[in-house]
Amino acid sequence: MNSVPLTTAPAAGTTTTQQPVFNIGGGGVLFWWMAGAIKELCHKGPNSLTEHYSLRGASAGALAAVLGACQIDTEDALDLAHKLALENGVFERPLGLVGVWGGMLRTWLHHLLPEDAAERCSGKVQVVVTAVPRLKREIISNFKNKNEVIEACLGSAHVPFLMDGKFAARIKGQRVVDGALLDAFQQARDVVTGSILFPSWVKLRWGPFALLNHNSDNRSASVKTEKVGFSGDMVHLSYHQDEELRKKGLGFFRVRCVEDIREMMDMGSAYGKKLRHQLALPLEEGSMD
């Protein structure tokens, strides 16, 4: 597996010109919000996000990163996803996506991604997977062909048993599962700890694994940055920072029809526009905003 552990640092005495990282975490159905935001940031022409940042994604975030780097139209992606869901009887199956999600995702990516997907993504997209049984994050950032891009995405989104009935995916002989798995463990631990030590901070409107974003200094929540050592600045795309999405409440995540998903994509696109300006990535003069 051509991967680099997240904790790897440059060799002693060397320097790095590595781009800052734009990180996209997991999000389940909020993939469509992410896709809307990333489409806005990865527009064609000068000042595309990929000209200034490496895209790092885990699980749904990996899919959004790859689609953004390949400049896939989100409407095409949604139309194909809906078509595949109908063809596979997802809405009639008692277990829905369980057992068939992996095959559907493979077909979806195969039809959407261009033949030069590897060239577009190599060195520009970092796909995060969780190696098992070590439970260690690893990054795949070099791809020989389109199929390797697809396999990396499938590994990063591999929820055990849900995808194809198997516990783990295999990439070049290495067993991997969902790239956001360790984040879920961390959130669960934080909620348990927070509910014991700071019970007034725990809020369930964002689900059982979310803590209230307890900020007292009124800093802008639109762009969260941190120093990550040799990697430089990291910017996180977080749906928790979208005030308009937060206003929708938990019921918004109960998707009932395709139009609900389109609304989610539109909200992501609106947030992407705000974020683009905050990252100083304006469209070229004369372009539509």
Give 67-91 pLDDT, tens digit per residue.
999 999 999 999 999 999 889 888 8
Pairing of strands 174-177, 169-171: antiparallel
* Rounded mean pLDDT for each run of 10 residues along the chain, 289 residues in total: 38 50 88 94 81 93 96 94 89 80 94 98 96 92 97 95 92 93 62 40 29 29 36 77 80 72 92 88 53
Domain-by-domain residue ranges, the chain?
A: 19-179+220-278
Q: Sign of dihedral through CA atoms 132, 134, 137, 143?
A: negative
Helix (H) or strand (E) holding 266: helix 258-278
CA distance 226 to 233: 6
The predicted-structure confidence for 211-267, as pLDDT tens digits, reads as follows 222 232 333 333 444 333 334 578 889 888 888 888 877 666 666 678 888 999 999
Tokens of 277: 């300006």
> Which pLDDT value is given to residue 278?
85
> Which pLDDT value is given to residue 283?
61
- Whether 239 and 33 have beta carbons less than 8 Å apart is answered as yes
**pTM assigned to the model:** 0.77
Residue 89, phi-psi category: left (phi > 0), alpha (psi -120 to 50), beta (remainder): left
